Chain A
Amino acid sequence: SAVISQKPSRDICQRGTSLTIQCQVDSQVTMMFWYRQQPGQSLTLIATANQGSEATYESGFVIDKFPISRPNLTFSTLTVSNMSPEDSSIYLCSVDGGYGNIQYFGAGTRLSVL
């Protein structure tokens, strides 16, 4: 499986500010994914990031709030913009494992917004 590095691991932010989360993979991958896990909830897909194209957002998530970059096949960023306390969640990146549609997850970013 791929080794996925995600940072920061946690952060405490003030409302109205923005945070950029980075996801680095040790091998080239076609698809990278960003998920949100709200407290006590399961994972919800925010968007899919393919290199060289615009990210594909799921219903309820918009680019202005969660801009995503995918500059190459090993790296992606997710920005949480104009944060409010409702954005307090764990944000996880995952990558396509290359076979069987398997996805592997990074360690996650635990975000608290005050």
Chain B
Amino acid sequence: QKEVEQNSGPLSVPEGAIASLNCTYSDRGSQSFFWYRQYSGKSPELIMSIYSNGDKEDGRFTAQLNKASQYVSLLIRDSQPSDSATYLCAVIPFSGGYNKLIFGAGTRLAVHP
């Protein structure tokens, strides 16, 4: 079982719709969760961090965390073509011992006009 799993996509949504990206993780003791956005040929850019159960909103982005289900998601409201990128879920597992980020394979999002 992979430590962090994501659907590779592509996830195709029309402009203005809500894009829902999902991620599951295997280490139940994980405490820190991140969503990064990576445009083609660029480095990852932090979108959201979340540490406790529930929702965290920042502009058009909402991160949701459910530790009991070992599940973290990212919602993008009013999706724009500029949101088209690969979204990487990253987790710091309890067993890491230090700030070791484990990345999922990423979900490619395509927002079409």
Report which A residues bind B (CB closer than 8 A).
1, 31, 33, 41-45, 48, 56, 58, 92, 94, 96, 100-108
Neighbouring B residues of A108 by C-beta, 8 Å: 42-43
13 A-B pairs, CB-CB below 8 angstroms?
A: A31-B98, A33-B101, A45-B102, A56-B98, A58-B100, A92-B44, A101-B92, A102-B34, A103-B34, A103-B46, A105-B45, A107-B42, A108-B42
Q: How distant is the Cα of A103 from the Cα of B46 in the complex, in angstroms?
A: 8
B13 at the interface (CB under 8 A from A): no
Cross-chain contact of B49 among A33, A43, A100 (Cβ < 8 A): A100
Q: Give chain B residues whose Cβ lies under 8 Å from the Cβ of A101.
A: 32, 92, 99
Q: Among the interface residues B34, B44, B46, B88, which one has the most CB atoms of the partner chain A within 10 A?
A: B44
Q: Which residues of B contact A (CB under 8 A)?
A: 32, 34, 42-46, 49, 51, 88, 92, 98-106
Known: A42-B103, A42-B106, A43-B88. A102 touches B98 (CB 8 A): no
Max chain A C-beta neighbours (<10 A), residue from B42, B46, B99: B99
Q: Is the interface of A mostly helix, strand, loop or mixed?
A: strand
B46 touching A104, Cβ below 8 Å: yes
**Bound Cα distance A94, B44 (Å):** 10
Q: How far is the CA of A14 from the CA of B67 in the complex (A)?
A: 47
